[in-house]
Amino acid sequence: MTCYPGLHAVILHRFNHLLWNSGLKWLARLFSHFSRWLTGIEIHPGATIGRRFFIDHGMGVVIGETAEIGDDCTLYHGVTLGGTSWNAGKRHPTLKNNVVVGAGAKVLGPITLSDGVRIGSNAVVTKNVDQDSTVVGVPGRVIHHHDDAQKKRDAIAQKLGFDAYGATRDAPDPVATAINKMLDHIHVMDEKMETMCGALKQFGAEIDVSNLPDLGSCNISSTAQSDGDEPEKIETN
């Protein structure tokens, strides 16, 4: 317990938050400043934090005054729960239960991350995120996982109690996924057009069959990593 700055920061924040709510705001800020110097983690004494909150590694974490964090949430080093304006009132994010924010991620503004959300490392999130979604990239893009294989992986990760920085190795690159879907659609439409032209020719129709450029084999590299070290390549023919 003597070598876990994340634990020290949370314990000190509980005390500082009590002072803040008791009206001793200057004293709360003073002690929070001492906590920041001791742990490298800056938590405003006005922030509301739920049970079993865990900060791993911790250095560089910043949690703003009006941030609200639910139960069983995890933040990794370099995370910012920040504001986007100086206006009075709610300025910082709300994290519901079981949220994991990966290393270096920035969650900005009075937005809500619903239950079970995962934020990938270095992502920048400025919009609300629905339940059980994963966000990656800059700006943050939402990926939904509904397949049985992913549910099994999530169950194993939850049983082990460890989520690798909020971004699994098999999380697909959303841009590569979108391009691959477009290519698949083009190939299917091309096959349907060939079938339709063949049927019309049988009825004696004259059709201009100018040769279209061959798409050939299109490889889209994904940032997702397979079991090996090489990036996964998705091929469409």
Which structural domain range is residue 204 located in? 174-236
Residue 138 and residue 222 in one domain: no
5: in domain: no
24 vs 208, more confident: 24
Residue 126 and residue 62 in one domain: yes
DSSP reduced 3-state for 200: helix
Q: Which of 11-20, 24-33, 93-102, 204-213 has the lowest mean pLDDT?
A: 204-213
Task: Confirm if 96 and 113 have CB atoms less than 8 A apart.
Answer: yes
End of a domain among 108, 125, 160?
160
Q: Phi and psi dihedrals of 153, rounded to 5?
A: -65, -40
228: in domain: yes
Task: Confirm if 124 and 138 have CB atoms less than 8 A apart.
Answer: yes
pTM score, whole prediction:
0.62
Residue 236 confidence (pLDDT) above 50: no
16: in domain: no
The C-alpha atoms of residue 105 and residue 122 are separated, in whole angstroms, by 4
The C-alpha atoms of residue 138 and residue 122 are separated, in whole angstroms, by 8
- pLDDT (tens digit, 9 = 90+) per residue, 67-93? 999 998 999 988 999 988 888 889 999
How much is the pLDDT for 181? 75
How much is the pLDDT for 162? 47
- How many domains are there within the chain? 2
91 vs 211, more confident: 91
Mean local confidence (pLDDT), 189-207: 82
How much is the pLDDT for 148? 59
